[in-house]
A and B are shown apart, each in its own frame.
Chain A
Amino acid sequence: MSMVESELATLTAAKVVDARGSACPGPLLEAKKGIGAVPVGNVLEIWSSDPVTKTDIGAWSAKVGHAFLGTLPAEGYERVFVRRSK
């Protein structure tokens, strides 16, 4: 269910988690912690400077049943988007 960059750029996240500077599994754990504060159907945005985060968040989303929407590049980090589905 991934979205193109122009669509991602229009998203407003219900919560933004800043995990920059944190190595694996830090950003994943922050995402797990953060998703609880996002209402079902809304978007969680994770900021990470760790290049494996997007792949890991994709795997995590598939396992726990959320929708991985994609990533947007930013200055020295990536913005990773997940829609809470349950």
Chain B
Amino acid sequence: MSASHDESAFERAFHHAAERHERVWIFIVLVMLVLLGIGTMFYVVFDYGVITHDTVFHRDPTAVEREPAFRDGRLARTGPNDYAAYVVGRVWSWSPGVIHVPQGARVTFHVTSTDVLHGFQVQGTTVNVTAVPSIVGAVSYVFDRAGTY
């Protein structure tokens, strides 16, 4: 190995500096990742409703077809300003198609599928649920802005 002979002063100095900077960099990265992690968790707790929760499991994916709320794609009023929407994903369509709620309403979406996996998203909001056959997932969102989503 010839490395020991031709290792120049520049190389030695560079190596020395590199080892010091490496430690500094790893420290910065760890702090950055911890802050990012804390920030993420803060928003999760702050806006807890959009977490998929309230899971109901069925053995048979078509079981929800026998529940009137899902069969008819109902929007039920559950409180003064609270609504529950029962959403079923089917290949190439969602039921119900359009949901009207007053501005400021808190809507809980109960989402499932009767055939394959679907992705349920309300554009422009953080509502995003995977519709899994025979599992009902729920998320809540407050529609503060008037508009079409």
Mutual binders A and B: no
Chain A residues in the interface with B (C-beta under 8 A): none
